[in-house]
Amino acid sequence: NVWNFTHERAQVERDGNLDWIFGAIGSRLTKNFSDLDLVGQGSTGRMSGFYFTDGAQHLDHDTQQNHMAAHTTSDLLFKGALKGHSRSVWQGMIYVAPGAQQTDGYQANRNLVLSENARADSIPGLEILADDVRCTHGATVGKIDPDLVFYLRSRGIPMDEAERLVVEGFFDPIMQRIPFEGVRVRFQQAIEAKMV
């Protein structure tokens, strides 16, 4: 019965680089605000998020990528899986200030719903006040592709293991972004535990 309320902010100065990793698996309720402020010319920030909910968990992530200077780059990828009656809400915004030309911003939220009663809401957004930028956003919510499970089953893999492999493959792009093996292994173990 843990309730988790956080507000995090990172500021990246000229030619700086930030690689920010989020993981959420255990709290009953999470409300998280994460602000990435790219204030120096040539600064870069990457935000990678992973969450897996079950039971009646509710996770709410609000991300902000603020491009305050020219020649800045942001890359956000959040992926989540949901079981039981759980719910996730992700709301993201890329903001590009006037004069922050040559900005490159990307955000994506991908969700895999593993039960009929789970729900994922994704709300990507752009607020662009400069005219020489490249910013994209996207969001998906879907179920396990039955063709993938069928393929694995046709190779003699039991149903539970086939679904676990599909979910692990879904999260693999996030796992590949984690430079610390110990953290990556711990997240992978959490995925396996949630699939039981």
CA R_g for the chain: 18
Q: Mean pLDDT, consecutive 10-residue segments, the chain of 196 residues? A: 95 98 92 98 97 97 98 98 98 98 98 98 98 97 96 96 95 95 93 90
pLDDT of 145 reads 94
Q: What is the pTM of this model?
A: 0.93
- The letter for the amino acid at 164 is R
The dihedral built from the CA positions of residue 43, 110, 177 and 25, taken in this order, carries a sign that is positive
Edge to edge, the sheet with strand 29-38 lists 3-12, 29-38, 58-67, 87-96, 119-128
pLDDT of 26 reads 82
Query: Which residues are paired to 78 by β-bridges?
Result: 49, 109
CB 65 within 8 A of CB 96: no
Return the closest-CA partner of residue 13 out of 98, 72, 92: 72
* Count of Cβ atoms closer than 10 Å to residue 90 Cβ: 26
Query: Which residues are paired to 176 by β-bridges?
Result: none
The dihedral built from the CA positions of residue 143, 147, 152 and 154, taken in this order, carries a sign that is positive
pLDDT of 101 reads 98
Q: Find all residues with CB under 8 Å of 133, minimum gap 6, and list them.
A: 67, 96, 100, 101, 102, 103, 104, 105
Burial per residue of 32-68, b for 16 or more beta-carbon CB atoms within 10 angstroms, e otherwise: bebbbbbbbebbbbbbbbbbbbbeebbbbbbbbbbbb
